[in-house]
Amino acid sequence: MKKYSIANYIRYKEDLKSSMPIDKPYKEYTRKELIIRFLPLVESLARKFPTSQQACGVLTIMDLLQCGSEALTKAVDRLDWETVDKSDDQEKTLKSFFSKRIRGGIRRRIDSHRGTMRLPEHVINKIRNNKDKKMVAMFFNSIFLSIDANVNDEDMVMQIPDKSDPYNKELLNIYLKSLMQKYLNETEYEVLRLSYGLDDEKLSAKQIAARLNIDGVSNYVRVSELKRQAVNTLIDNVDHSQVLDYL
């Protein structure tokens, strides 16, 4: 972590503690009180960003706190109180609304100070989205395509013991099926489900073709195409945040 003024940070924490408003309904907070009330959230989010030279350039944790505070102030001004009033958990709604904008504000400031060359924001977003898509592809390929791969017991990698905690297969199957039902058509869903036996017996391509009434001499080839098509559809449509916990 880069050096920063410890004295300034201590002064900031003391000022924040002395200025923290008393607990009361959020509707009764003034604009200033609401900003101060959620400044600890800013620090919590800012500390999740790495502060190495390569990660965020010249910015220190104090700079990230300032960026996050600016984003929080703008978010408070954009707050829709009608939506907050309708919420069953107002604190959760406010934190969700503020967190997204605080992270975005910090990330944009980091992107502008990370290097000597300034990239347009749409280019940075495209790079970030490509990275996220690769994570989704890693998830689905590791689950589906790795099952079809031929395992060589003599491979040194296969001799390394896996000490990680095993997944709960039933929960994973339920989660996979929910994603498949959301993004795949009926034929793709059935092909993928039967190919890997998610909640049924695992069938061969010819057996699947017979069950789904896929006619033709090379109907098993069509099943393989549908299987690959289904995996690609999931990769293209599922957000990386939906599979992050399994990576």
Do 141 and 188 have their domain in common?
yes
Could you tell me if residue 56 is inside a domain? Answer: yes
Tell me, what's the pLDDT at 149? 47
Q: How far apart are CA 59 and CA 51, in angstroms?
A: 7
Are 152 and 200 within one domain?
yes
Give domain status of residue 208, yes or no.
Answer: yes
Whether 107 maps to a domain, the answer reads: yes
- Whether residues 26 and 98 share a domain: the answer is yes
* Shared-domain flag, residues 147 and 109: no
Report the predicted TM-score, pTM, of the whole model to 2 decimal places. 0.48
Q: pLDDT tens track of the chain, all 247 residues?
A: 456 778 888 888 898 888 888 888 888 889 899 999 999 999 998 888 877 766 666 788 888 889 999 999 999 998 888 888 888 888 888 988 899 899 888 888 887 776 555 666 666 666 566 656 777 777 777 777 654 544 454 444 444 454 555 556 677 778 888 888 888 889 888 888 888 887 778 888 888 888 888 887 788 888 888 888 888 888 888 876 666 555 4
Residue 1, domain member (yes or no): no
Give the C-alpha distances (Å, rounded to integers) separating 239 from 130, 133, 140. 11, 8, 12
Domain count along the chain: 2
